[in-house]
């Protein structure tokens, strides 16, 4: 699904308050993968909630494949677009409301598509096993009794159950173990046609699989750059208090030190392997 934000602003309270999101223009194409970065309080979660149609723009409009969210709200058409979206909230417990973790997983499929239980169980098994979640245990456990890393995995798995056309993840790797992180990256890199928007303070987790970085500061879009141009724009990030990915900072430093690389590296281990082969190590 393609999403277009047209001059979108959002104000939480009464007129006169600060704008949480201000005059944002943004187009995210079908299948495109972006990270949304910015300092705490810059408006990332608010923008994601606007994309998810949980809140309506105070000004401007959001289009889903050309259809206006305002028009859809008037015609009570929002459920038809919501069922094409998977969302992971910043605080996963905010999205849990079922008695068992398994019912949480099954909810969207039962609710939107009503398929047979057997089909739901097969899908749930497929999705949860990579995250190391025990399906039998999920059937008897309240989602609120899971650890915070497990809650995030459950919320992610729930979002993935319906194979959404657009996936929105708010800090998906916060508190997650290395295996969960690897599984998330593996899943995201396999979703060719799915539009993915990831809000994160850890850009490096996703550099390998994304197309673009969008930066937001004080509610305004301050950066919108394809991955292959990121290295040129590290200063702009720093200017807006966005922490650049460490792997790119190291490459800027190497370049300043006169060490030439054969390409831009997005993964620290790959960069280290290159350096081991090309830079003289310590003398024995």
Q: Which residues bind ligand ATP (CB under 6 A)?
A: 12-13, 20, 38, 40-46, 90
CA distances to 8, 45, 125 from 55, in Å: 12, 11, 33
Q: Are 277 and 261 spatial neighbours (Cβ–Cβ below 8 Å)?
A: no
Picked from ligand ATP, Mg ion, none, the partner binding residue 20 (CB below 5 to 8 A depending on kind) is: ligand ATP
Does the protein bind Mg ion through residue 45 (CB under 5 A)? Answer: yes
Rounded CA Rg of the chain: 20
163 binds Mg ion (CB under 5 A): no
- Pick from ligand ATP, Mg ion, none: which does 38 bind, CB < 5 to 8 A by kind? ligand ATP
Name the phi and psi angles at 18, rounded to 5.
-60, 150
List the catalytic residue out of 171, 183, 238, 269: 171
Shortest CB 243 distance to Mg ion, Å:
15
Residue 235 is among the residues annotated as catalytic for this protein? no
Host H or E run for residue 88: strand 85-88
Residue 46 touches which of Mg ion, ligand ATP, none (CB < 5 to 8 A by kind)? ligand ATP
Residue 262 sits at φ, ψ, to 5 deg, of -80, -20
State the binding partner of 41 from ligand ATP, Mg ion, none, CB within 5 to 8 A by kind.
ligand ATP
Please choose, out of 17-25, 43-51, 119-127, 149-157, the segment that lies near Mg ion by the rule CB under 5 A: 43-51
Residue 198 parent element (H or E): strand 195-199
Residue nearest to Mg ion (CB): 45
User: CB count, 10 Å around CB of 33?
Assistant: 21
Tell me which residues in 88-117 interact with Mg ion (CB under 5 A). Answer: 90
Q: Which helix (H) or strand (E) holds 216?
A: strand 212-217
Helix (H) or strand (E) holding 72: helix 69-74
Q: How far is the CB of 216 from Mg ion (least distance, A)?
A: 11
Contact positions vs Mg ion (CB under 5 A) = 45, 90
Active site residues: 171
């Amino acid at each position: 699904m393609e999403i277009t934000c047209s001059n979108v602003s959002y104000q939480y309270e009464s007129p006169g308050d600060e704008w949480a999101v201000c005059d944002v223009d943004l187009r995210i194409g079908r299948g495109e993968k972006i990270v949304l970065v910015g300092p705490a309080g810059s408006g990332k979660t608010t923008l994601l909630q606007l994309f998810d149609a949980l809140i309506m723009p105070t000004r401007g409009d959001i289009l889903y494949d050309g259809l206006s969210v305002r028009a859809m709200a008037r015609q009570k058409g929002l459920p038809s677009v919501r069922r094409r979206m998977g969302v992971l909230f910043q605080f996963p417990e905010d999205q849990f409301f079922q008695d068992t973790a398994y019912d949480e997983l099954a909810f969207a499929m039962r609710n939107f598509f009503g398929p047979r239980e057997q089909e739901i169980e097969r899908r749930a098994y497929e999705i949860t096993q990579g995250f190391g979640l025990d399906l039998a245990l999920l059937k008897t456990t309240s989602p609120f009794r899971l650890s915070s890393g497990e809650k995030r995995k459950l919320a992610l798995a729930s979002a993935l159950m319906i194979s959404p056309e657009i996936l929105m993840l708010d800090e998906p790797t916060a508190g997650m173990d290395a295996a969960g992180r690897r599984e998330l990256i593996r899943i995201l890199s396999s979703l060719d046609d799915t539009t993915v928007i990831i809000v994160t303070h850890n850009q490096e987790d996703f550099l390998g699989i994304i197309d673009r970085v969008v930066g937001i500061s004080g509610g305004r879009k301050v950066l919108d750059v394809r991955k292959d141009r990121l290295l040129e724009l590290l200063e702009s990030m720093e200017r807006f208090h966005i922490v650049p990915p460490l792997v790119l900072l190291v490459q800027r430093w190497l370049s300043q030190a006169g060490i030439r690389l054969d390409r831009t590296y997005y993964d620290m281990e790959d960069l280290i392997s290159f350096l081991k082969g090309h830079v003289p190590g310590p003398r024995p």
